[in-house]
């Protein structure tokens, strides 16, 4: 398993966005090499971990990488925040990073690129082949709403409270190939879809498949893309441990010939919207019953299902420690709003994010 994380750059005085990604990336590359790079906008820095089999080792690298980028930003007089959306600053239209791919994206997708000052946490889990990856995707797609609620960390957008736990989810959902993936009938079904998207100019290439779960186009992994940038290193670790256990559990079901639960695409989309709006503190749609139940209880139910896989990987104690803390204190969106409530100040929210972005490797505080 591995992670790709995206951070926003902010000025420590105004707390607004700053378009200096190239300088920070160049500064951080001395330690991180090609594990750090630019993104679509000049407000963003992207980092990557190495592949790991140990969740503890993964946790150490996530924390160390964040600390390295934070130091690099500080040497440029800046700070990094791990939030799905910017709290303050002129977010639209963003200054785009130079390069032919980004220029082509701007020409092809036009105003869609104007609201992409958003940051995600992408988790990769190794899989043996494409056919298996698609079957795993079929088994895991019903759980996407629960995981969106768990990872919501984007309640504000450029000075406004959106009323959502994950505004990034709603923004990202505007892309033509985004949101929950379809149920894949076969590898040829997947390949036919991709060919159609490329032929019709719906995506530029395989890298433009922005589904919440997708087979990676360049490494042998299944990539999970639904999560906002994690407020703390610990939440990235929690997400990675859960997704590895979910993948292992799905592999067992596939080997046993158990069919994947197949909710209707309309209700799955509705459940994702509800999760993005209300987050961990709200009621989520239980796709198996069509009724509402507390999102926090749905996470508990998921972890109960994953217990054998967590135990097999030796992750039980760490995952339950991380989840217990988040269960008590809420997701990133809840804590952003709590920071605001103290004095009614959005600068306090940014200061909170600056602090928590590099705080601890095993805690969610």
| Mean pLDDT of the chain, nearest integer | 95
What pLDDT score was predicted for residue 360?
Answer: 57
Confidence of residue 243 (pLDDT cuts 50, 70, 90): very high
C-alpha pair distances (Å), 249 with each of 123, 255, 256 = 17, 10, 11
The DSSP secondary-structure symbol of 264 reads: -
The pLDDT tens digits for 327-345 are 999 999 999 999 999 999 9
Return the ∠ at Cα 350 (arms to 340 and 213), rounded to 5°. 100
Residue 319 tokens, joined: 């995952």
* Cis status, amide bond into 309, omega within 30 of 0: no
List the domain boundaries for the chain. 2-357
The pLDDT tens digits for 58-103 are 999 999 999 999 999 999 999 999 999 999 988 888 888 888 888 8
CB contact set of 166 (below 8 Å; sequence gap of 6+) = 84, 148, 151, 152, 153, 154, 155, 228, 275, 276, 279, 333
State whether CATH 3.30.590.20 applies to domain 2-357.
yes
pTM confidence score: 0.96
CB atoms within 10 A of CB 138: 21
What pLDDT score was predicted for residue 106?
Answer: 84
What pLDDT score was predicted for residue 90?
Answer: 85
Q: Is the pLDDT of residue 27 over 50?
A: yes
Of residues 22, 19, 2, the one with CA closest to residue 11? 19
The pLDDT tens digits for 182-191 are 999 999 999 9
CB contact set of 138 (below 8 Å; sequence gap of 6+) = 183, 184, 260, 262
Mean pLDDT on 172-190: 95
Residue 273 tokens, joined: 């919207």
Q: Is the pLDDT of residue 362 over 60?
A: no
Q: Is the pLDDT of residue 364 over 60?
A: no
Alpha carbon distance 65, 213 (integer Å)? 25
User: Which is higher by pLDDT, 27 or 361?
Assistant: 27
């Amino acid at each position: 398993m591995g992670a790709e994380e995206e951070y926003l750059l902010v000025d420590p005085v105004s707390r607004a966005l700053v378009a200096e990604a190239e300088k920070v990336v160049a500064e951080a590359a001395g330690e991180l090499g090609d594990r750090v790079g630019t993104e679509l906008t000049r407000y963003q820095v992207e980092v990557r971990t190495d592949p790991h089999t140990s969740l503890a080792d993964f946790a150490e690298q996530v924390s160390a990488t964040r600390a390295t980028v934070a130091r690099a930003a500080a040497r440029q007089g800046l700070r990094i925040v791990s939030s799905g959306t910017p709290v303050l600053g002129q977010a639209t239209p963003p200054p785009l990073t130079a390069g032919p791919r980004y220029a082509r994206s701007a020409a092809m997708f036009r105003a869609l690129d104007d609201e992409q000052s958003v940051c995600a946490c992408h988790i990769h889990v190794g899989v043996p082949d494409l056919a298996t990856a698609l079957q795993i995707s079929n088994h895991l797609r019903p759980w996407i709403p629960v995981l969106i609620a768990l990872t919501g960390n984007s309640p504000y957008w450029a000075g406004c409270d959106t009323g959502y736990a994950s505004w990034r989810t709603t923004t990202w959902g505007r892309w033509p190939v985004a949101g929950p993936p379809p149920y894949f009938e076969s590898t040829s079904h997947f390949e036919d879809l991709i060919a159609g998207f490329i032929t019709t100019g719906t995506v530029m290439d395989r890298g433009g498949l922005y589904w919440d779960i997708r087979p990676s186009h360049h490494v042998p992994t299944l990539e999970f893309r639904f999560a906002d940038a994690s407020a703390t290193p610990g939440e990235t670790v929690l997400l990675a441990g859960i997704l590895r256990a979910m993948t292992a559990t799905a592999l067992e079901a596939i080997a046993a010939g158990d069919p994947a639960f197949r909710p209707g695409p309309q209700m799955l989309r509705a459940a994702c919207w509800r999760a993005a709006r209300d987050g961990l503190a709200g009621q989520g749609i239980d796709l198996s019953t069509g009724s509402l139940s507390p999102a926090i209880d749905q996470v508990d139910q998921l972890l109960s299902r994953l217990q054998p896989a967590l135990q097999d990987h030796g992750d039980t104690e760490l995952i339950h420690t991380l989840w217990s803390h988040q269960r008590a204190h809420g997701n990133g969106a809840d804590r952003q709003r709590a920071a605001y409530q103290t004095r009614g100040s959005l600068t306090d929210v940014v200061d909170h994010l600056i602090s928590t972005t590099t705080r601890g490797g095993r805690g969610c505080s």
